[in-house]
Amino acid sequence: MTVRVVAPASTANLGPGFDTAAAALELWNEVTVEEGTGVEIEGEGSDELPRDASHLTLRAFALFAPPGGYRFSFVNRVPLERGLGSSAAAIAMGLVAGAAVAGRPGAPGDLLQAGVPIEGHADNLAAALYGGVCFAMKRNGSIHAARIASDMPVAAILAVPATRTNTGQSRGALPATVTHADAAHNAASAALLGAAIAGHDARLLRDAFDDRLHEQYRAADAPLLRTLRAGAPDGTVGVTLSGSGPSVVVWAEADRAGDVARELEASLPDDTTVLPLRVAREGAHAV
């Protein structure tokens, strides 16, 4: 039996949707599972990711079927530790592949429930499984998630630096408490964010991209965020940190996205990759 599964990258938070909102992106990792033994990795992380049962894909696969007796061959395109959901993509591939091998493919919501204990947070994993733009939260021990749109009302252009950010260390920079004013502001911004995305309203989205819970505390380790907010190209609707960074998403007016991308390529350092990426309308799936 051979199963080939692909899973998309993702950008989480989308500004004020901290630990809740994420969009899948058209940058795909893939794994082929077939009878045999061993783990092969090509592309991103090929010289550092584990080749044993501790690999995130194998851990997720093991929730449905024993990984022993199978060979896992990876082609990775999502950069590691850049805020682009590489861990969520790996887990999503394992969930879909394991369920397929076990002969009981599950709905994205069921796979999400199974995979969150490995991922830790539902936002990136929801986007990687559902595709499109998702909101997710954990309440009373259960994960509640919804795909609210198949696309964003603006175009995503990612600025991906060569440096990395460890998610755990980045979270350590966040304060344990915030002011009531900042919490209220973020609640309003997150509500606007959901309304703008669901209503495909780019104008409303411009006002929604205003976070006070995490971006200001992570800015020191994400210099591109400060740089691009201080001098974003004309046609920019908003600038958000992708996940915990250090990558940054420049959200551009759809009809000006090409110009914005070209200006970013001309102005950013040579070691920064500019990636115009469409929202992936499909989540992890067998091909």
Domains of the chain, earliest start first? 2-150+281-286 (3.30.230.10), 155-277 (3.30.70.890)
Kindly tell me the burial class for residue 80, based on how many C-beta atoms sit within 10 Å of its own C-beta (0-12, 13-18, 19 or more).
middle
What pLDDT sits at residue 56? 98
Query: Is residue 201 over pLDDT 70?
Result: yes
Mode of pairing for the β-strands spanning 155-160 and 236-241: unpaired
Q: What is the mean pLDDT of residues 178-205?
A: 96
CA distance 52 to 54: 5
Q: Residue 105: which pLDDT band, with cuts at 50, 70 and 90?
A: confident
What pLDDT sits at residue 140? 85
What is the pTM for the complete model shown? 0.95
Q: What is the pLDDT of residues 235-285, one digit of tens each?
A: 999 999 999 999 999 999 999 999 999 999 999 999 999 999 999 999 999
- Whether 86 contacts 79, CB under 8 Å: yes
Q: How many other C-beta atoms lie within 10 A of the C-beta of residue 250?
A: 28
CA distance 22 to 122: 9
What residues contact residue 241 under an 8 Å CB cut-off, 6+ apart? 13, 83, 214, 215, 218, 222, 225, 247, 248, 249
Q: Residue 170: which pLDDT band, with cuts at 50, 70 and 90?
A: low
